[in-house]
Copies of this chain bind each other. A is one copy, B any other.
C-alpha cells in the first residue's frame, strides 16, 4: 500500500533538501523528526549503483548532541557500557546507550574532540532529552545541546577518489572510525571514515546550515566522471552487511547483548554507567535472544512494516524485523531477533509474512 507523506515544519527539511529534491527523491522516511531519503531511482537500482560507483547521502538526520564542559567525559561514560577511558581525541566509537534496565535507548557514534567536548551522532530517538535530563538531575557541570551540524555521507567504492578531489590527499590518512578536521572553502569540517554501508566511505560533519548546498554542489561537480549520484542508506545493502537499524531491529526492549554488541560491554572493568547491574546479571545468565542473519529462500518478499513472527514447531522462536530481496545473493536477506535455543547456524524456522508462511534459515554470519 502506498501513502503520501504530508510535509510540515515538524518533519524538518535538512540543509541538503534542495539538492535531494532536485535529484528526484521519490520516497522519504522520518528519522529524528527530520526527512531521510529512502529511494531515488529504485531501491534495487540505487543498490547496484552504490556497490559500483559513489553516492552522496543526506544523513543530516544523524543529529548531533554536544557535551561541552568539565563533566563532559564523566557524563559520556555514564551513558554507555563501552569503556571510553583509552579513547583518543580523534576517535569515533560505536556506543550502545542503555537505561537502568539495560534497554537500548540509542546506538549512536560518539565523536571525541577532547576531554571536555564530545559529539554524539544519534540514531532515531531524542537522546538529547535523556542526556540533558541526566545532567540536570545529577547536577553535572556540562552544557548539553544540539549544534547546527548535519552529516553528509560519501559512500561507495569510488568514495576515496571523490573525497581526495574535494579535500586533498589528507583523506587517505584518516583511519577507520577516526576523524580529522579538513578545510573547505572559507571554513573546515570534521571528516570521519565511517558510514552506514559496507562499501567504504566518509561522513562529513557539516557545521553551519549555510554551507550545506555549497558542499553538495562541489561534490557533484568534482565527481561527474566518477558517476556520482544522490543516494541514501540502502535497505538491501545494509541488511547484507548486518548494519542494525534502531527502532527496526532493536528497541528499548532489547539489551546490547541481545543486539550482539557484547564486545562493547565491559562492566567488570570498573566502568560506571547506567544499567550496570542489569547488564552484569545478563552477562552471567546469557541473553534470552540474539540478533541473527536470516535467509528466506525463494520468491522476493515485500519488506516488512511490522515484525514478522518466527516459529519452530508451532512455538514462538523470535521475529524478523528487516528483510529484502538481494539481487547479488539471490535470496531474501533478513535480520531477526532469535530466541535462545534456536539461533545456531543452519536452524530452520518458519516466518509468518503477510503473504503467508515461509522457510527462514538462521545464519552464523551476514552476507557482506
User: A2-B4, A6-B39, A8-B305 are known contacts; what are 12 more A-B pairs with Cβ within 8 Å?
Assistant: A3-B25, A5-B27, A6-B28, A8-B248, A8-B303, A9-B306, A9-B307, A13-B306, A29-B30, A30-B30, A33-B125, A136-B137
A284 interface residue (CB < 8 Å to B):
no
Top 7 nearest A-B pairs (CB, nearest first) are A137-B137, A133-B133, A10-B247, A126-B126, A7-B305, A30-B30, A129-B130
B-contacting residues of A (Cβ < 8 Å)? 1-11, 13, 21, 25-31, 33, 38-39, 99-100, 105, 124-127, 129-139, 245-248, 274, 303-307, 321-322
Which residues does chain B contribute within 8 Å of A306, judged by CB atoms? Answer: 9, 13
Contact A29-B1, Cβ < 8 Å, known A133-B132, A134-B136: no
Number of copies: 2
- Do A4 and B6 touch across chains, with their CB atoms under 8 A apart? no
Chain B residues with Cβ under 8 A from A4's Cβ?
2-5, 26-28, 39
Shortest beta-carbon distance from A200 to chain B in Å: 25
Q: Nearest-CB distance from A299 to chain B (Å)? A: 20
Residues on B with C-beta less than 8 A from A133 are 129-134, 136-137
> By the criterion CB–CB under 8 Å, are A11 and B26 in contact?
no
Question: Closest residue of chain B to A305, judged by CB?
Answer: B7
Distance in angstroms from A16 CB to nearest chain B CB is 14
Nearest CB of chain B from residue A12's CB, rounded to whole Å: 8
- In angstroms, how far is the closest chain B Cβ from the Cβ of A171? 32
Contact B6 A38 (CB under 8 A): yes
Least CB distance from A79 to B in Å reads 10
A243 to B303, CA, bound (A): 37
CB of A23, distance to nearest CB on chain B (Å): 13
Chain B nearest Cβ from A13, distance in angstroms? 6
